[in-house]
Structure 1
Amino acid sequence: MLMRNSLLALCTAMIVAACGDSGSPGPDPTPTPTPGPTPTPLLCNGGSQLCDRAYDEVAYATTHNAYSNATDGFIGPNQEFAVPRQLSDGIRGLMLDAYILDGEVVQYHALADLGTYPLLSTLTEIREFLQANPREVVTIIFESYVDGDDIADVFAEAGLVEYAHAQSLEDPWPTLGEMIESGKRLVVFTDLDGGARDWYLPVWDFAFETPYSFSVPEDLSCEPNRGNPENSLFILNHFLTQTLGSPELAEQINFNPLLGSRIEECMLRNDRMANFVTVDFYNIGDTLVDVAALNE
């Protein structure tokens, strides 16, 4: 009714202006300009609110042993889907293991007989995702058994070096918006040879983690493990390990209220944003929902 009354009033005013006091037609009214469309806000990792947040103020859904997945034929995998699907679904942190096997840098978990996947293939998949999604920031966290120079060679071959962000310990992290504008949208951490390149960052100088060798839900702990708890980045390991990956184990801990309450507990315990919420079988449970809530 309010809108109808407003339209009637507007029409009456236009008739009076057109006809004048005598009721005779007056000059044509000046056309009212039509407002243009409202600009679409720029998004950073899927949210406009994240563009002005520093990298270490954002949460990233992260896959443990991302390469070890059923799609690529691994036995006892930690994930259901391959890396391209993980990224498409919203995963923004990838834990990768690197080894040398027969002269090639490959990825496997503990035993090569359970499956291997070339590091070059995974890095190429990440580069393709970054090319197709220019407003996304992705992180790699390496458990590496390979010389840093060999890793750098694979990055160069995959065309990823140009995306890699160089970060000094003395400097604050840039915002996601700044990283996107610079084109440096890939952050690479490693536990071996970090610092060999300015973009190949020593993980435990920048981050700390919870323990990771949990076999039953009752073992889950928020105590600091590797890395200094004063570091600004927090890796929250949330997966169960009983020799091999298991969807049944993920079913036990990937759902709320357990997942959400542990995230909250560990953030309070360590006075840090849970930056990397790391899980097996991310497609089971509430990981993506809870990480999105952290970023609101």
Structure 2
Amino acid sequence: MNLQTRIFWCVIASAQPCITQSMYNAILDRRYDEVTFACAHNAQSYKESEFKDVSTLSTSLAQTLISVRNQSEDISKQLEGGIRACKVPVFLQDGKLVACHGINKYVIRDVKNAVDSWIETAKKDIKKTLHIALPAIVEKAAKAAIKKLLPEKIANIYFNPDKVKAGDLDPSTIELSRFLAKIHTFIENNPHEIVTIFLEVWHKDPAMIKNTFTASGLTPYLYVQPIDTPWPTLHTMISQNKRVVVFIDITVDTNSYPFNTYSQFAWSSPYNFSSVEKLNQDATTNTKCPTPQWKNIKNGIWILQHFVTMGTGGNREQAEHANKKETILNRVNRYKQACDLKNPQFIWVDFYNTPKNNGVIDAIKALNGI
């Protein structure tokens, strides 16, 4: 096979191969679940927020809204850079499925809490300045003032939720069919590559999702794994041209839908860490290990969720440290020891190309023994 074909973990500036033919062949002979892949967490969201001005109005609201991206490049560049899996939230907007950091019940909750706190502060200021004692008047004045200050899309989340669109906070919002079409282009142009997609669906309509995959051109490449059957080798998947694996977080009938039900295969580590320090404490204190039921699955996969959260999105500054090779490998090893696990099949990361020395890809290469 042509080693000039870019491989899952091989990121190089030149056209020279970075592994030997024997290494490449050994990797191809491994089963899908015997390989570790780099996964872009919330791969669709790569543009900066358009609402930076709210930072001058409310610190708590800014923390909720300003960080909406988890990557710095679109999915095409991510795939070129060595990413071989992506986690994507899916919402319904204007009758179409979109990939975005959508406005869900958690975002609405956080915005409500932030605005309520801001309103309380404004009420105190109004009472102090105008010496108004009537609560109803103060409340109305505070809300009117804040509504005028907020950008319309944000104000609607609090004051007019029926006018909110799923992707109002995320400038990277893209129709799911277009997002998948970019993966299709990569798969077509790279016949020895395998890509995995994790769908977090907020509009639970498998038929609509299936139709979207068909429109993108990916359906012929989809691989569905039988439960309790060993995964095929990478070589088998490539030779059969079944090179796209989709895990979806709803239960589907594989006879009707070419997707793998996430809960039947996957276990993932905890997430939602606010700093690298807390991320590093994971798997050393109050370790959450897989259930015995998951360990009894013959072809289970486990996911290391390895990122630091800030507001709705990721924290690029913290990614400089979280994505270092040694940070990733140390956390993997702690989980392996604490939970009696083998290497994870997927490592979900934010800002995969931060730091610039390719720490994420270097960690993936080390875990795969190359």
Aligned pairs for 1:139-178 within 5 A: 139-146=196-203, 147-178=205-236
Find 1:228's aligned residue among 294, 300, 303: 294
| Structure 2 equivalent of residue 119 of structure 1 | 176
Separation in 2 of the partners of 1:86 and 1:162?
A: 23
Residue in structure 1 matching 2:328, options 250, 255, 259: 259
Structure 1 gaps of 5+ residues are: 1-38
Matching residue of 2:269: 210
From 243, 249, 257, the counterpart of 1:185: 243
User: Displacement, 1:246?
Assistant: 2.3
d(CA) in 2 for partners of 1:109, 1:165 = 27
What is the aligned partner in structure 1 of residue 368 from structure 2?
295
**Paired amino acid for 2:365:** A
Distance 1:248 1:101, change over 3 A: same
Which of residues 301, 306, 310 in structure 2 aligns to 1:242?
Answer: 310
1:280 aligns with 2:350: yes
Matched residues in 2 for 1:246 and 1:261: separation?
Answer: 20
**Whole-angstrom distance in 2 between the partners of 1:151 and 1:125:** 16
Please give the alpha-carbon distance, in whole angstroms, between the structure 2 residues aligned to 1:72 and 1:169. Answer: 41
Task: Report deviation, 1:71.
Answer: 8.4
Greater relative contact order (Cα < 8 A, sep 6+): 2
* TM-score, normalisation: structure 2: 0.65
The residue aligned with 2:99 is 107
Where does structure 2 lack aligned partners over 5 or more consecutive residues?
11-23, 51-65, 104-166
> 1:230, CA displacement in angstroms?
4.2
Measure, in 1, the Cα distance between the counterparts of 2:4 and 2:264. 32
Q: Distance in 1 between matches of 2:88 and 2:327?
A: 26
1:91 aligns with 2:83: yes
For the residues of structure 2 that align with 1:72 and 1:202, how far apart are their CA atoms? 32
For the residues of structure 2 that align with 1:123 and 1:219, how far apart are their CA atoms? 34
TM-score by length of 1: 0.80
Rounded Cα–Cα distance in structure 2 between residues aligned with 1:121 and 1:229:
37
Counterpart of 2:41 in structure 1 is 64
- Seen in structure 2, the aligned counterparts of structure 1 residues 205 and 281 have a Cα distance that, compared at 3 Å, is same
Q: Distance in 2 between matches of 1:157 and 1:62?
A: 24
Name 2:18's counterpart in structure 1.
none
Asked if 2 retains the 8 angstrom alpha-carbon contact of 1:167 and 1:198, the reply is: no
Identity %: 33
C-alpha separation in 1, matches of 2:366 and 2:278: 25
Could you tell me how far apart the structure 1 residues matched to 2:309 and 2:34 are?
29
- Do 1:208 and 1:235's aligned partners in 2 also have CA atoms closer than 8 Å? yes
SS of equivalent to 1:228: helix
Aligned-partner SS, 2:314: coil
Is this contact kept in 2: 1:233–1:272, CA < 8 A? no
* Bigger radius of gyration: 1
| 2:305 aligned partner, one-letter code | N
Q: Counterpart of 1:257 in 2: which secondary structure?
A: helix
Whichever structure has more helix as a proportion of its residues is: 2
1:134 lines up with 2:191 in the alignment: yes
CA distance in 1, matches of 2:168, 2:44: 15
Q: Aligned pair in 2 of structure 1 residues 120, 249: CA closer, same or farther (>3 Å)?
A: same
